[in-house]
Structure 1
Amino acid sequence: MTVNDDVFTDWKNREEIAESMIPIIGRLHREKDVTVLLHSRSLVNKSVVSILKTHRFARQIAGEELSVTETFPFLNALTSLDLGPSQIDLGMLAATYKADSRGLSVEEFTAEAVAGATGDNKLERRDARDVVLYGFGRIGRLVARLLIEKASGNGLRLKAIVVRNSGGDDLVKRASLLRRDSIHGQFQGTITVDEANNKIIANGNEITVIYSNDPSEVDYTEYGIKDAILIDNTGRWRDREGLSKHLRPGIAKVLLTAPGKGDVPNIVHGVNHDTIKPDEQIISCASCTTNAIVPPLKAMDEKYGVLRGHVETVHSFTNDQNLLDNYHKADRRGRSAPLNMVITETGAASAVTKALPELKAKITGSSIRVPVPDVSIAILNLQLATETTREDVLEYLRNVSLTSPLKRQIDFTTAPDAVSSDFIGSRHSSIVDAGATKVEGDNAILYLWYDNEFGYSCQVVRVVQTISGVEYPTYPLPAA
């Protein structure tokens, strides 16, 4: 047998193991509401190749490839445990087991590591929480995809979409936009339209399309909706008074997918989501750029101290701009988005203080819109309180992306040829580009990629899970 045959045989063996993982992962998710992760990346509903690619990606952040031959024994051990709703990270289980010197078997170690999710400790499965989308644009449709994806567990259920009626074939056209996306590809599943009852049925989820021109027109209880979280994707109302219009019968809380004004709390999941008051009815998820820069800012401030900083965002164009030169209330956004770089303002820097009030450093910011349809980069230039080295900063941020409470927000890439399209579909709010990072003494410049559509939508759904009480703990727990 040649060397090439050995490599191919190894690949086929790993394919076979990955195939055997799929039904186990599916059963744990459907029957016990357990989400199986690999270094914060969900393996639920993934193909054989996707599972193998996720294992290989660990090489970029952990320094070596992780094989399914290493993680499968831990997954198999989970099947014998009395698990409750939780998230379990196979990558972390494998890493912590390798570092453990007690000589425990995989089964013994796994049972100990996830003990908080088993037996008398386990959480009870909750009834699904109703969710309503007000508006169905770029963010609305991506949030819808995520909610439908997660509905096979028992946490959240998308019950309705509220839009203005645009005339003939409105329902069919909106379903088509959910089914196909020029940037994010095909919807993973099936979509049918029930025109007689104004419903879109996606992977078995019946979603009522409610036509309304104003929040005050809707009584959601008429559609069987109760105690729901309404996600306003329009950005039309951004203060408490305006958003309170959504607090209609059937709606308990309102979540804004734009920076909130006045006393509306701006929440960046992973940073300040634990400050949400149980009785708070109106919450903002801040902006995509705020979600991209605040987690790394928090990490850098905790380790080195941040005295001051400036963020320059190179941002993909959005629907707010014109395709061709035309009137716009803003000075430059009226110029053709696909033909120009457009200097514009960003509120992300000023929003930092609302999400991270303990950060005393002054952060300034500016933005340039560029002719790409998705994925942006934030260049974060920081003056630190402590002198350090590039190697130290990169090692620290890589560890943050692997093991810290910010590991769902911060990702890390060492790919030397990384470009923006590589990060379409990233579920992290910020990806540190190791190759572009610059550090000299007390000055650090971080290049942070982010999918300003999908990564941000993931952050929105995480906040929804938090306020719904269905954001389950992840095991194994970080070391104290």
Structure 2
Amino acid sequence: MRNGKIRVGIMGLGQIGRHLYHLALEKDDIEIVAVADIGKPEIIEYLLKSDGVDEPSCKLQDNYLINDKFRTRMLQLARPEDVPWDVLDVDCVVDATGRYRRRRDVEGHVRAGARRVILASLPSEPIDRIVIPGLNESHAASADKMISAGSATTNAFALLLQSLDQSLAVDCASMTTVHAYSSDQSLQDYAHEDFRRSRSAAENIIPNNNESARWVEAVLPKFAGKLSGYALNVPVQRGSLLDINCVMQDAGVTVNQVNDAMRAAATRHPNLIGVTDDPIVSSDVIGCRQSLLFDARATLKAGKKIVKVLAWYESLGHACRVLDVVRQYSKLDGNGGES
């Protein structure tokens, strides 16, 4: 930390990475001191300016992206171990590539001098800790070096499940995320290691595996072996939807009780959970900074114990949670950070 600011390095300035850059400009407690990306710095500057965010303008000058609040060293590098994080004197690195999820890849950042690494995605194998704001941030420890801030889907699922379970007792649940297409999908049919993901994201609803249920079970062990999840990637750029079927322990649970439980959760965690009674669609959730926006109009009771609920979310909300985790660990290190 220098001059009261948390010094953050980012690897990968895709959608989440650019959200992080824009969000850092809104406050005075974080500065993005370095960005590593496979793209040319000139292209990164162009994309940031094309995001349509009203904020102080940035300008590329001598390999630095400069704005009114901080200047960012731009590095065109592809691998975690290639970035000189020690020389850059960062407090933590956020890996927003979505690519380097194995433990040995995350360790590459540490070997290159990163004091702490926070994945903006789920890991592919166990690391020090997964931290989901609103759920288990109190478990964070200063000794943690490799952390995941979950994913947009995982965090929304976990928060919704915990909220309903605390109030009404959930026995088990299944989840389908109707998810905006992602940057690793091709817009045209193109050979991919997965058959279905070889098809055009712009033209198809594509069934896909999803890891969220497994990691929610790890964070909420009482649900071990009781959760399942699937994904449908759809031709939408931003705005995703969770469709969750919960088997309740009490057959007497009503739709109104479910909606009231989520309203109470939103009151307890207004920065994380929202509730809407409006007939919204996916584009209406763009710009939502909460982890989930519960759709009260959509709650259904099916049979005796099954309740179906819908909740909306988008990538900006997850970027906000990533920075929540950055600030949480800065506090543990005795460096303050915005509350």
Q: Could you state the TM-score of these two structures normalised by the residue count of structure 2? A: 0.92
Partner of 1:55: none
For 1:65-464, list aligned pairs within 5 A.
Answer: 127-150=4-27, 152=28, 155-164=29-38, 166=39, 170-181=40-51, 185-194=52-61, 196=62, 198-223=63-88, 225-226=89-90, 228-248=91-111, 250-264=113-127, 265-360=129-224, 362-386=226-250, 387-402=252-267, 404=268, 406-415=269-278, 417-439=279-301, 441-451=304-314, 453-464=315-326
Separation of aligned partners in 2, 1:446 and 1:189: 40
Unaligned runs of 5+ in 2: none
Separation of aligned partners in 2, 1:408 and 1:361: 30
Aligned length: 331
Q: 1:248 offset after TM fit, Å?
A: 4.3
- One-letter amino acid matched to 2:84: D
Q: 1:300 offset after TM fit, Å?
A: 0.8
Q: 1:297 offset after TM fit, Å?
A: 0.3
Instruction: Say if 1:314 and 1:377, in contact at 8 Å, map to a contact too.
Output: yes
What's the secondary structure of 2:182's corresponding residue? coil
More helix by percentage: 1
1:231-257: per-residue Cα shift (whole Å, max 9, x none)? 111133213222011014652100111
Q: 1:189 offset after TM fit, Å?
A: 2.2
1:45-97: per-residue Cα shift (whole Å, max 9, x none)? xxxxxxxxxxxxxxxxxxxxxxxxxxxxxxxxxxxxxxxxxxxxxxxxxxxxx
Q: 1:371 offset after TM fit, Å?
A: 0.8
Instruction: Say if 1:220 and 1:248, in contact at 8 Å, map to a contact too.
Output: no
Instruction: Say if 1:306 and 1:361, in contact at 8 Å, map to a contact too.
Output: no
Larger radius of gyration: 1
Q: Could you state the TM-score of these two structures normalised by the residue count of structure 1? A: 0.66
Q: 1:163 offset after TM fit, Å?
A: 1.8
Unaligned runs of 5+ in 1: 1-124, 474-480
Instruction: Say if 1:462 and 1:471, in contact at 8 Å, map to a contact too.
Output: no
Q: 1:187 offset after TM fit, Å?
A: 4.2
Instruction: Say if 1:272 and 1:356, in contact at 8 Å, map to a contact too.
Output: no
Instruction: Say if 2:80 and 2:105, in contact at 8 Å, map to a contact too.
Output: no
What's the secondary structure of 2:305's corresponding residue? strand
Q: 1:420 offset after TM fit, Å?
A: 0.7
What's the secondary structure of 1:463's corresponding residue? helix
1:404-456: per-residue Cα shift (whole Å, max 9, x none)? 1x3322110011x21111110100111110111113543211101011x1111
Separation of aligned partners in 2, 1:357 and 1:146: 33
